[in-house]
């Protein structure tokens, strides 16, 4: 049996044990089936996704505006086993980068708006909750930064993701000691 299936079954048993406070093998067949479906739904919400007849762990990556720009410029698709996460402000920051490119004569307005549409269509979980904002505030204070801009990305990475994919050199420098940093190529399908 595939090790991922064994791992998922072990997690189902952990969820069942936690929910029932007992050994899941003691459930009746009907109780066990109902509880397995509840456990499956719970694990899917934690980032497990069903693919290829078994369940695998989804990897969550926080992306910065420059990484989003690279994703919209390139023709490569993001691997479906990866979930993209970012602060609410990323869409505006992405549009700002496109506007700067148009003003610099690097692309036409039509190309920029098309890239913006691709960025908007890209599935990104946008976050801006109270805990993320407070964590960003604390992180910026601890590090002695004068802005929360980079701290937002790092706070979300710390709280909600497995790694940060960034192309901003200042953000990468700040991130190195605080969170895991991954290369952009890791997001693409093989």
pLDDT category of residue 137 using cuts at 50, 70 and 90: very high
The predicted-structure confidence for 169-184, as pLDDT tens digits, reads as follows 999 999 988 999 999 9
Q: Are residues 51 and 135 in the same domain?
A: no
Q: Are residues 43 and 109 in the same domain?
A: no
**Mean local confidence (pLDDT), 67-88:** 90
Q: In the chain, at which residue ranges do the beta strands (DSSP E only) sit?
A: 48-51, 54-57, 59-63, 82-87, 124-127, 163-165
Greatest Cα pair distance, the chain, in angstroms, is: 69
Domain that includes residue 182, residue range: 60-187
| Distance, CA of 68 to CA of 82 (rounded, Å) | 14
Q: What is the pTM of this model?
A: 0.69
For residue 50, the model assigns a pLDDT of 45
Q: Are residues 175 and 92 in the same domain?
A: yes
The predicted-structure confidence for 83-132, as pLDDT tens digits, reads as follows 999 999 999 999 999 999 999 999 999 999 999 999 999 999 999 999 99
Other beta carbons within 10 Å of 88: 12
For residue 35, the model assigns a pLDDT of 59
CB 85 within 8 A of CB 161: yes
Judged against a pLDDT cut of 80, whether residue 82 lies above it is answered with yes
Residue 108 sits in a domain whose CATH number is 3.40.50.1010
pLDDT category of residue 8 using cuts at 50, 70 and 90: low
| Distance, CA of 94 to CA of 88 (rounded, Å) | 11
């Amino acid at each position: 049996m595939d090790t991922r299936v064994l791992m998922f079954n072990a997690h189902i048993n952990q969820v069942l044990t936690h929910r029932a406070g007992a050994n899941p093998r003691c459930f009746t067949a009907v109780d066990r089936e109902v509880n397995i479906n509840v456990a499956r739904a719970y694990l899917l919400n934690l980032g497990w996704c069903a693919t290829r007849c078994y369940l695998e762990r989804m990897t969550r990556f926080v992306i910065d505006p420059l990484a989003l720009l690279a994703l919209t410029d390139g023709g490569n698709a993001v691997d479906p086993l990866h979930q993209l996460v970012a602060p609410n402000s990323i869409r505006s920051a992405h549009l700002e980068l496109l506007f700067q490119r148009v003003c610099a004569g690097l692309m036409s307005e039509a190309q920029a708006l098309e890239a913006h549409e691709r960025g908007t269509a890209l599935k990104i979980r946008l976050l801006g909750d109270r805990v993320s904002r407070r964590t960003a505030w604390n992180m910026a204070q601890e590090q002695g930064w004068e802005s929360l801009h980079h701290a937002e990305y790092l706070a979300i990475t710390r709280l909600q993701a497995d790694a940060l994919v960034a192309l901003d050199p200042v953000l990468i420098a700040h991130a190195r000691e605080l969170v895991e940093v991954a290369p952009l190529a890791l997001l693409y399908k093989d």
